[in-house]
Amino acid sequence: MEPMRFGILVFAIFMFQGHAQTKLVDDLMVFDPPSEKFVSIVLQTHKGLPRFGVLNDYRPKSKNSNMRTMPSRGRQSPENVEKIGRARTGLRNLSIMLGLNYRAPFLTDLDRERLTTPSSSLPQEQQNSAYLQNYLLRQVAPNICLDESCKNANQGKNEFERLRNYKSFMDNCFGSLQEWSKDFLKNDELVGYHVSLLHVARGYDFDKKGYWVSHNFNMNDVFAAKVGGAKKVIFEPVAAYENQMAKNLDARNGVQFFLKVDEASAERFMKEGINWLYLVKKIKLKYSGKTLSQPRDPIEFNYAHEDSKLLIYEDAALTKNFTTISLDNLTLKKP
């Protein structure tokens, strides 16, 4: 297991299906692997739950009123550089592991003894094998594995060495990885927080006292783009206020709503260089169960809100709460 070079262990949360432990370390959630052959997977958190969307970059912000809010260069500690790096890598690796889990129905087509050469003329079962082998060798092995018998699965000077490395990976690592991949969405669900941005740099309405801001209900930034295979995260209303909101979404699955900001706060934002606010909502992510026709098909997840609250913060660390609004009481802009 990777050495923990930052933070102090706060407490253990729970054991996932007996395979691997998950714990909180400072503002990070650490998924410990089932063995030292694999990396731990680290996610940022908010209030003890995984954080998705816009991450905390741990950087102090410039307060020059003549500049956009930008990170201050050269002031980030090595500890924070490591933390944001591990969090970004963790999101990538989470996407990879979920891809492995939800492609399990096709693993019966996986050739574990021979490498399948991709070709459009192959029968579907062999095309599935070629896709899965490429996924294991180019994404899972180099990113999730630490042990040489697994990490080098796609290496080799010739076809004989490459085949030996592949079979070593299958014999020593694949089974444990497949079991571990089941641990991340227990019962196919995960509750966490999603963070997005609201632009408040210009366009202040002096009559209504605030800004018209845009919020999109697409959530394809939950998983790393093009990593772990294609994935979709689709808004699936459950509560009455969600169904009402869904009726007001535009063609791009978004809305414009009015955010009340008094003149003093708006002027302070301008002076402090605060051009963006952080909108935080608590969501439940759920695997849709949609049947895939082939392993390269997008894996679909649905999400709904755990409550109607939208928390608005001034900082990426989510420590300076500006206001709280509700999805069931937004002033929407008419098309």
Using alpha carbons, select from 104, 145, 150 the residue that is nearest to residue 128: 104
pLDDT of 21 reads 72
| pLDDT value of position 221 | 84
Rounded Cα–Cα distance for residues 227 and 162 (Å): 23
Q: What's the Cα-to-Cα distance from 23 to each of 26, 37, 41, 283, rounded to whole Å?
A: 10, 19, 11, 20
Residues with Cβ within 8 Å of 198's Cβ and at least 6 positions away in sequence, in order, are 211, 213, 214, 215, 259, 276, 277, 278, 279, 312
Predicted pLDDT of residue 22: 84
Instruction: State the DSSP code for 173.
Output: I
Contacts 24+ apart (CB under 8 A), 203-210: 204/261, 204/263, 204/266, 205/258, 206/263, 208/258, 208/260, 209/260, 209/261, 209/262, 209/263, 210/258, 210/259, 210/260, 210/261, 210/266
DSSP reduced 3-state for 243: helix
With CA atoms as reference, report the closest residue to 149 among 110, 180, 176: 176
Distances in Å between the Cα of 59 and the Cα atoms of 2, 142, 303 are 25, 29, 30
The whole-number pLDDT of residue 25 equals 84
Closest CA to 275 of 203, 195, 178, 189: 203
Q: For position 4, what pLDDT does the model report?
A: 39
Helix, strand, or coil (residue 10): strand
pLDDT at position 62, please? 52
The residues of the chain scoring below 70 in pLDDT are 1-20, 61-75, 225, 335
DSSP structure class, residue 235:
E
Check residue 93 and give its pLDDT.
Answer: 96
d(CA 95, CA 108): 22
pLDDT per residue as tens digits for the range 51-93: 999 999 987 755 443 333 444 444 678 888 888 999 999 999 9
The number of beta carbons lying within 10 Å of the beta carbon of residue 63 is 12
Residue-wise pLDDT for 222-260, tens only, equals: 887 678 888 999 999 999 999 999 999 998 899 999 999
pLDDT value at residue 219:
87
- Sorted by sequence, the CB contacts under 8 Å of residue 317 that are 6+ apart come out as 56, 58
Residues contacting residue 14 through CB under 8 Å, at least 6 positions apart: 22
DSSP annotation string for 44-67:
EEETTEEEEESPP--PPBP--TTS
Q: pLDDT at position 2, please?
A: 40
Residue 203 CA to residue 217 CA, distance in Å, equals: 23
* Alpha helices in the chain, H assignment, sequence order: 78-102, 124-135, 141-144, 148-151, 159-169, 175-180, 240-246, 263-272
Percentages helix, strand, coil for the chain (3-state, rounded to 5) are: 30, 30, 40
pTM above 0.95, yes or no: no
End-to-end CA gap in the chain: 53
